[in-house]
Amino acid sequence: MPRRIAITGFVSLLAALLCTSIVPVAFATATEQPEEELMIDHFDPETGKRVIPNERCLTCHGDQQQQTDVRDDGTPVQIFVHSKEIEASVHGSQSCTSCHVTIDRVPHRKAPAVIVGCIECHRDTWEKHKNDTDDKYARLKVVNEQIGSYMQSIHAQPSKLDQSRTNATCYDCHEGHNIGELGSIQRAEKRLKNPEVCGRCHEKELEDYRTSDHGKAVLEKKDSESAVCSDCHTTHDIASPETDKAMLAITKNCGDCHEEAQRTYFKSYHGQVHRLGYTDAAKCHDCHGGHSVKGEDDPTSEIHADNRLENCRNCHEEANDNFLSFWPHGDAHDRENYPGLWAFRVFMEILIFSVMGFFWIHVLLWLYREVMDRIQGKGFVEDLSQPDLVYFRRFPVVWRWIHFLFAIATMTLILTGTTLLFSHTAWAKAVVEFLGGIRMEGIIHRTAAILWLGIFFIHLAIATSNIWRQRKTFEWFGSTSLIPNMKDLQDLKNMFKWFLGRGPRPEFSHWTYWQKFDYWAPFWGATVIGASGLILFMPDKTSLILPGWTFNIANLVHAEEALLAAIFLNSVHFFNVHFRPERFPMSTAIFTGVIPIDEFKHDHRLEYERLVAAGELEKHLVQRPSRRVSLVASFITTVLIMTGLTLLTLVLFGLITIPS
């Protein structure tokens, strides 16, 4: 054993001996705080992480006397939090570090950053408690829905200036330490504070808002009923204001308070486009201004008479003073304020109800009569032992083409036009989307309208030239003339008698009275729909000569007349031509141009007899159309009938579901 170690051992032993005598003495004088916890008790036994009680944080952060501290770079920083507020908030029982998870040492060894994530905890807690029988955590459902909305919002997008952070996060808007329960005082106060909170980032908008009627009510009069930012922009589902989503939501939200204004807006063309989900037409804020919205009497208001035209010109670049007399919220049901519009509506509705009422009764009675006749073995029945071989030519090729194109154009117009009229329906939205959006729909509608009017005028030209060529011999009230005469009135009367079983079926000439009605109705329609359509087609041009309120009238009558045509054609016209038992399921005469001679004899007895007497019948007789021509005609007729019935269904569905 080396000597040095031996000595060391000896000294150690001596020291040990000394200790045995000294240490007890030392222990006798030493004090212990047995009531105090051991140091390890300040650590979580499971995770080994330090447990930092809230009081420890509040030593500095709850000190009213020293509400600020200085950062490492010497700049001041506000560190004070209201402990009482936290305790009274929904998070009152949470520890500071359950949110401030990066804080692990007190005093902080490094400059602490506010790194707080709210979402995970709220999601996990809801996941854990969503099946609870009590409703202690029920509100978390809404919180999680809002989180979902927030995550889709512009606020959750990375900031353009700094991609490492989002545009805004939970605690930028919510006062993290002062979140109240539903109905709490914190929430009431929060509403009044909303503009200031948003204005911390959106400074310019807040400045505009301050000058608005909303802003004055909220910020000056402390009227929490008036609109704050989130009422229009939503709380969490906030989209960039340039997006359709935001513009649609904002306009919809205006209506939450301004119900009447929204109702009348939706009646206008602007509103109809909006309700279809498109932002191309004017929305509330386009005319009223967004953040700086004011009443019309305020000279700085965008809707003040002096400023309004400028707004119109944002879209209608050539708008002139006549635009000012347009009623953006014109209400055809408001007799007091819009008597002219009201009168047009009443007239159009009387027209629709009387025409439809009359013809539907006509249809039902006719159906009744033919069914009764059939039961009694009467009426026109195809003779199967003698199939039709001889046909009577009723329509030359040009009329057949005209009818075909007219039908296609009309149906296209009905489809595209009624989407606006019934913009509240899902089918309307689907149709517009299918067609490629509202602008494409506008193009299609206008193209069809030009085609429709074109056909109408071409027909007029042909008819006029035909009459001109036969001007020497043309009998205005002759048997082949379409001009209504007294016999038509007589026929109508006798038809009703026949319907009711009080007389024989009247005998008709070349054109029956219902055929004449079908012929002349488009003249009225072309005038009303065509004229109103042209006004709406070119508002900038028409306003050069017409006052702005004619747009309101045009919009109203265009829609009402179109509705009448759509319902009439697809129900009454279809019945008279195709669906009455004698004709069911269809007549293809307008496409083949011919009808069996027996049918002609039955339906146009007088003309048949006249032709026979004059020896002219032979001129009009043709062979039975080929099988292929029959099939093509049946096919086209079937497609058009099915389309017409579909349109009728959509229109009736739209009418029934129209919001009151």
Partner 1 sequence: MENMKRDKTVHRGVCHLLLAMLALVLPAAVSAEPSGQAMSFTCAGCHGTDGASVGPSMPAIAGMDPEVFVDAMQAYRQDERNASIMNRIAKAYTDEQLKEMAWFFASQRLRLFPQPHDPVLAEQGARLHEEYCEKCHEKGGRPGDAGTLAGQWMPYLHYSMEDFINGKRKWPRKMQRKVDAAIEAAGDKAIPALVNYYGSQQ
Instruction: Give me the sign of the Cα torsion angle 93, 99, 105, 108.
Output: negative
CB of 250 to partner 1, least distance (A): 48
HSE-CB at 629 with a 13 A cutoff on CA atoms is: 10
CB of 97 to partner 1, least distance (A): 13
CB of 96 to partner 1, least distance (A): 15
289: left (phi over 0), alpha (psi -120 to 50) or beta: left
What are the residues whose beta carbons fall under 8 Å from the beta carbon of 379, sequence distance 6 or more?
Answer: 370, 373, 581, 582
40 touches partner 1 by CB under 8 A? yes
384 touches partner 1 by CB under 8 A? no
- Smaller CB separation from partner 1, 2 or 34: 34
Only segment of 99-107, 293-301, 515-523, 539-547 that touches partner 1 (CB under 8 A): 99-107
- Smaller CB separation from partner 1, 72 or 135: 72
656 touches partner 1 by CB under 8 A? no
Query: How many whole angstroms separate alpha carbon 342 and alpha carbon 552?
Result: 11
Only segment of 36-44, 136-144, 365-373, 624-632 that touches partner 1 (CB under 8 A): 36-44
Beta bridge mates, 77: 69
CB of 22 to partner 1, least distance (A): 8
111 touches partner 1 by CB under 8 A? yes
Q: Which of 2, 24, 107, 659 binds partner 1 (CB under 8 A)?
A: 107
- Smaller CB separation from partner 1, 59 or 159: 59
46 touches partner 1 by CB under 8 A? no
CB of 27 to partner 1, least distance (A): 8
* DSSP 3-state of 411: helix
CB 187 within 8 A of CB 180: yes
Q: Which of 36, 46, 317, 618 binds partner 1 (CB under 8 A)?
A: 36
72 touches partner 1 by CB under 8 A? yes
What are the residues whose beta carbons fall under 8 Å from the beta carbon of 578, sequence distance 6 or more?
Answer: 584, 585, 586, 587, 637, 641
CB 265 within 8 A of CB 271: yes
38 touches partner 1 by CB under 8 A? yes
108 touches partner 1 by CB under 8 A? yes
- Smaller CB separation from partner 1, 65 or 473: 65
- Smaller CB separation from partner 1, 8 or 626: 8
- Smaller CB separation from partner 1, 50 or 191: 50
HSE-CB at 307 with a 13 A cutoff on CA atoms is: 16
In angstroms, how far is CA 319 from the centroid of its own chain? Answer: 27
* DSSP 3-state of 545: coil
Instruction: Burial-class residue 417 by CB neighbours within 10 Å (0-12, 13-18, 19+).
Output: buried
CB of 45 to partner 1, least distance (A): 11
CB of 114 to partner 1, least distance (A): 17
Q: Which of 1, 5, 26, 161 binds partner 1 (CB under 8 A)?
A: 26
CB of 104 to partner 1, least distance (A): 8
- The letter for the amino acid at 548 is G
CB of 311 to partner 1, least distance (A): 59
Q: Which of 27, 47, 385, 502 binds partner 1 (CB under 8 A)?
A: 27
CB of 165 to partner 1, least distance (A): 25
CB of 120 to partner 1, least distance (A): 26
Q: In this structure, what token pair is assigned to residue 652?
A: 């009736």
Query: How many whole angstroms separate alpha carbon 223 and alpha carbon 188?
Result: 11
- Smaller CB separation from partner 1, 109 or 628: 109
Other Cβ atoms within 10 Å of 555 Cβ, number: 22
- Smaller CB separation from partner 1, 71 or 204: 71
Query: How many whole angstroms separate alpha carbon 166 and alpha carbon 160?
Result: 9
Q: Which of 10, 43, 347, 519 binds partner 1 (CB under 8 A)?
A: 43
What are the residues whose beta carbons fall under 8 Å from the beta carbon of 182, sequence distance 6 or more?
Answer: 139
**Residue whose token pair is 């386009």:** 286
**Residue whose token pair is 């944080």:** 57
Query: How many whole angstroms separate alpha carbon 254 and alpha carbon 271?
Result: 13
CB of 9 to partner 1, least distance (A): 14
106 touches partner 1 by CB under 8 A? yes
Only segment of 22-30, 141-149, 214-222, 299-307 that touches partner 1 (CB under 8 A): 22-30
Asked if omega into 659 is within 30° of 0 (cis), the reply is: no
CB of 5 to partner 1, least distance (A): 16
What does the DSSP assignment read for 208-245? HHHHSHHHIIIIIS--TTS--HHHHH-SS----TTSHH
30 touches partner 1 by CB under 8 A? yes
CB of 95 to partner 1, least distance (A): 16
Only segment of 42-50, 151-159, 453-461, 559-567 that touches partner 1 (CB under 8 A): 42-50
Total binding residues toward partner 1, as defined by CB under 8 A: 30
CB 115 within 8 A of CB 104: no
Q: Which of 1, 2, 5, 31 binds partner 1 (CB under 8 A)?
A: 31
Query: How many whole angstroms separate alpha carbon 191 and alpha carbon 224?
Result: 7
Q: In this structure, what token pair is assigned to residue 318?
A: 């050539």
CB of 142 to partner 1, least distance (A): 39
Q: In this structure, what token pair is assigned to residue 297?
A: 């009497």
Q: How far is CA 47 from CA 40, 43, 511, in A?
A: 12, 8, 97
* DSSP 3-state of 621: strand
- Smaller CB separation from partner 1, 111 or 182: 111
**Residue whose token pair is 């709220």:** 122
Asked if omega into 107 is within 30° of 0 (cis), the reply is: yes
- Smaller CB separation from partner 1, 31 or 386: 31
100 touches partner 1 by CB under 8 A? no
CB of 42 to partner 1, least distance (A): 8
Q: Where are the alpha helices (DSSP H) in 169-307?
A: 170-173, 185-199, 203-211, 213-215, 229-233, 244-257, 259-267, 269-275, 284-288
252 touches partner 1 by CB under 8 A? no
Only segment of 32-40, 345-353, 506-514, 528-536 that touches partner 1 (CB under 8 A): 32-40
Instruction: Burial-class residue 584 by CB neighbours within 10 Å (0-12, 13-18, 19+).
Output: exposed
Only segment of 25-33, 121-129, 437-445, 503-511 that touches partner 1 (CB under 8 A): 25-33
Q: Which of 11, 95, 105, 381 binds partner 1 (CB under 8 A)?
A: 105
23 touches partner 1 by CB under 8 A? yes
CB 328 within 8 A of CB 265: yes
- Smaller CB separation from partner 1, 104 or 120: 104
5 touches partner 1 by CB under 8 A? no
* Residues that bind partner 1 in the complex, under the rule CB under 8 A: 22-23, 26-27, 29-34, 36, 38-40, 42-43, 50, 56, 59-60, 63, 70, 72, 105-111
